[in-house]
């Protein structure tokens, strides 16, 4: 197959870890024999004089680059902050020329679009213009949150109804998609995988020495953006409660985000400076050290699709305490892997206390998680694409 991957969630020279999970799935598919994959990863256009650094950074991505073995182009599109109902149309307009040029050169069999809105909506418009079947992959916020916006919900339904097929990274997301009005027969659940070469257990003592974490402490690690949905405040409060009886407890928050100052203020307010540490964003390749150093990895999210941090923690042998949201329960299928809790400070406190006192078989945890590689995921994606394309070409599918 000749595949055009279309997504704004993709690594680039400026943000090398951005959308790494999308890259892993696409790269896995490209490694399979008989496939040629090209990537269109649009970035917002902002003039260099625009005063907000976050937006200036997007404009620094090169127009073309090679990411791994994949050829990537970065068309620019006009982004109007705060006017989300226009984003899909603007991405479509910004990418039409480049997508048309590539299609004339390679004659793609399908478009593989990630994130249903705005990327997937734009991809379906491109597919209509170019005459190419489109597959949409739902990943989390695009289905958990965006259908709640009155003007965006119809565009999501329209895109899904006209796609040749849809992939949900969890059964929980599939249920929500069916609730929007998508036929369940059209949706295939294909969970994320894990890069076993990058995420594997490291000797705990060596990991702690590398990270300068004292050997005699009990360590909770939470990896994720410092944003409201990740609910770090609940985790800090739970840790504060546990620390009253366990002075050697340490919580390390790995990530950056808009709530950093508020979380730092809460740490100071509760006098937790010797217990809770905001260590900032870390390179993806060093996360195995944090997971390996942890007694427990914790995810306190209020919503999720299929959280990669849970898969990655397990692959490094770290048991997980996580809130029972989204597809988390589809990963923590056994209490030998971790503990599911409700999203409250009390439940997190109880779950973490229990996890810290349990004897975990970290080898079993790592082997279980590492069985689901991105190559396994790519095989499932390939099988689904081939089936749906065959049905489309035979006339058994009308979309």
Give pLDDT tens digits along the chain (399 positions): 999 999 999 999 888 888 899 999 999 999 998 899 999 999 998 666 666 666 666 667 889 999 999 999 999 998 887 788 999 999 999 999 999 999 999 999 999 999 999 999 999 999 999 999 999 999 988 999 999 999 999 999 999 999 999 999 999 999 999 999 999 999 999 999 999 999 999 999 999 999 999 999 999 999 999 999 999 999 999 999 999 999 999 999 999 999 999 999 999 999 999 999 999 999 888 999 999 999 999 999 998 988 999 999 999 999 999 999 999 999 999 999 999 999 999 999 999 999 999 999 999 999 999 999 999 999 999 999 999 999 888 776 644
Same domain as 129, residue 151: yes
Same domain as 382, residue 264: no
Same domain as 68, residue 187: yes
Query: Does any domain span residue 199?
Result: no
Same domain as 32, residue 178: yes
Give the whole-angstrom CA distance, residue 58 versus residue 157.
29
Same domain as 225, residue 138: no
Same domain as 303, residue 155: no
Same domain as 360, residue 300: yes
User: pTM to 2 decimals?
Assistant: 0.89
Spatial CA neighbour of 379 closest among 119, 110, 136, 191: 191
Same domain as 171, residue 210: no
Same domain as 150, residue 31: yes
Query: Does any domain span residue 248?
Result: yes
CATH label of the domain that carries residue 180: 3.40.50.2000
Distances (CA, A) of 93 to 77, 88, 122, 123, 306: 7, 9, 8, 11, 30
Sign of CA dihedral 289, 294, 299, 305: positive
pLDDT value of position 372: 95
Same domain as 219, residue 158: no
pLDDT value of position 399: 45
Domain of 14 in residue numbering reads as 2-193+374-393
Query: Does any domain span residue 398?
Result: no
Query: Does any domain span residue 241?
Result: yes
Query: Does any domain span residue 198?
Result: no
Query: Does any domain span residue 32?
Result: yes
Provide the number of structural domains found in the chain: 2
Same domain as 244, residue 151: no
Same domain as 185, residue 237: no
Query: Does any domain span residue 399?
Result: no
């Amino acid at each position: 197959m000749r595949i055009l991957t279309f997504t704004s969630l993709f690594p680039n020279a400026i943000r090398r870890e951005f959308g790494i999970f999308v890259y892993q799935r696409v790269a896995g598919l490209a490694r399979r024999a008989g496939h040629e994959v090209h990537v269109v990863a649009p970035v917002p256009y902002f003039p260099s004089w625009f005063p907000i650094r976050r937006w200036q950074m997007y404009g620094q991505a090169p127009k073309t680059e090679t990411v791994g073995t994949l050829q990537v182009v970065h068309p620019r599109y006009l982004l109007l902050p705060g006017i989300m109902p226009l984003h899909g149309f603007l991405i479509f307009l910004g990418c039409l020329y480049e997508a048309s040029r590539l299609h004339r050169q390679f004659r793609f069999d399908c478009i593989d679009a990630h994130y249903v809105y705005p990327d997937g909506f734009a991809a379906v418009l491109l597919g209509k213009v170019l005459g190419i079947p489109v597959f949409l992959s739902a990943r989390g916020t695009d289905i958990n949150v965006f259908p709640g916006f009155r003007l965006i919900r119809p565009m999501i339904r329209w895109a899904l109804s006209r796609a040749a097929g849809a992939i949900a990274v969890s059964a929980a997301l599939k249920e929500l998609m069916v609730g929007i009005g998508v036929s369940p027969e059209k949706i295939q659940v294909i969970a994320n995988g894990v890069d076993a070469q990058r995420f594997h257990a490291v000797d705990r003592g060596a990991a702690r020495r590398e990270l300068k974490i004292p050997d005699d402490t009990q360590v909770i690690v939470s990896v994720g953006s410092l944003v409201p949905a990740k609910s770090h405040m609940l985790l800090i409060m739970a840790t504060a409660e546990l620390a009253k009886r366990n002075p050697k407890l340490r919580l390390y928050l790995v990530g950056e985000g808009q709530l950093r100052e508020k979380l730092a203020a809460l740490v100071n307010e509760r006098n937790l400076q010797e217990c809770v540490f905001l260590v900032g964003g870390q390179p993806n390749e060093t996360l195995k050290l944090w997971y390996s150093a942890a007694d427990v990895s914790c995810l306190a999210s209020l919503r999720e699709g299929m959280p990669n941090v849970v898969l990655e923690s397990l692959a490094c042998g770290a048991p997980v305490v996580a809130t029972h949201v989204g597809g988390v329960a589809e990963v923590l299928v056994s209490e030998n892997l971790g503990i599911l809790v409700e999203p409250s400070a009390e439940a997190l406190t109880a779950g973490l206390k229990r996890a810290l006192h349990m004897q975990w078989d970290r080898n079993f945890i790592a082997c279980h998680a590492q069985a689901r590689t991105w190559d396994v995921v790519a095989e499932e994606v390939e099988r689904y694409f081939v089936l749906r394309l065959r049905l489309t070409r035979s006339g058994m599918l009308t979309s």
